[in-house]
Amino acid sequence: DLLSRAKSYARLNRKVVELEKKSGHDKLTGLFSVASFEEQGEKALSFALRHKLEITSVYLEIEDFQDIYLAHGKNVAQQIIVTVGKRLKEVMRTEDIAARLGVAKFAVLLPLTNEANARTVISRIRNNINKLVFNTGREKIRVSLAAGYTAPSMDEQMDFADIMEQADTALQKAMKRTSGEKIASFHDKEETVATKPSFTDDDIRTAFQHVIDGAYYQVPDLMLQLVADRLKPFLDYVASRSDTERTGTDDS
């Protein structure tokens, strides 16, 4: 029933998070996990600021990934994620640090790179990945990457969480663009941050079904948050029932 499946999903989700934290790497791509990226990033940023060295953080996201998943299914979606991760590793320098942050979101930290040079690196990465062709069995499809980036000022005392937030803000700017290269810097003052995309109830129901089917890791982060928000009253109720039953058992 729904209650059992919700409890099973919660247990499975905790197990996946724990395993990825222990391994330090994303299971699909072999790139760093979020926790490992944050750990490595803090060290790299601290070194750069201490020695007045340039460093740039880049966020990348596969555009329209939810549509690809819904149209072509889990296997094709996973093939795309794995291939993009592999191609990222191939084009990176030895000193670069790359991670998978979300379903279709990646990050690359570029030491000894200012914003001007970072844009050249990003264009090379995007061109390399945008030319990939995936055969779904019915048709051939291409993917494209949006990119946002930022470089801290050497005069600022920032932690890595600040840098990640700026890169994510820049990524939202890039994804809002309707023409030209979808690349944006956090310091592009003339642009405004993208508003969050709107989803219908049918979209949320479809995403919830993917969660029930065990394919939650292929659902976009924002959609997962919407599903979690819808489930919160139910999960709170389940938790309160469990507490009541436990209290009743203890008293008897």
Beta bridge partners of 57: 109, 150
Burial 101-119 (b: 16+ CB within 10 A, else e): bbbbbbbbbbbebeeeebb
Q: In the chain, what are the domain boundaries?
A: 2-247
Cβ contact 100:35 at 8 Å: no
How confident is the model at residue 69, as a pLDDT?
86
Beta strand ranges found along the chain (DSSP E): 55-62, 97-100, 105-111, 133-135, 140-142, 145-150, 183-185
pTM over 0.75: no
d(CA 123, CA 91): 11
Which pLDDT belongs to residue 216?
A: 59
pLDDT the model gives residue 230: 76
Q: What is the pLDDT of residue 194?
A: 46
d(CA 182, CA 63): 10
pLDDT score, position 40:
93
Q: Which residues of the chain have pLDDT under 50?
A: 2, 5-6, 9, 12-13, 16, 191-195, 251-252
pLDDT at position 7, please? Answer: 56
Q: What order of strands is seen across the sheet that includes strand 55-62?
A: 97-100, 105-111, 55-62, 145-150, 183-185
Homologous superfamily of domain range 2-247: Reverse transcriptase/Diguanylate cyclase domain (3.30.70.270)
Question: What is the predicted pLDDT for the residue at 138?
Answer: 83
Tens of pLDDT, residue by residue over 26-83, are 888 999 999 899 999 999 999 998 888 999 999 999 999 888 888 888 889 899 999 9
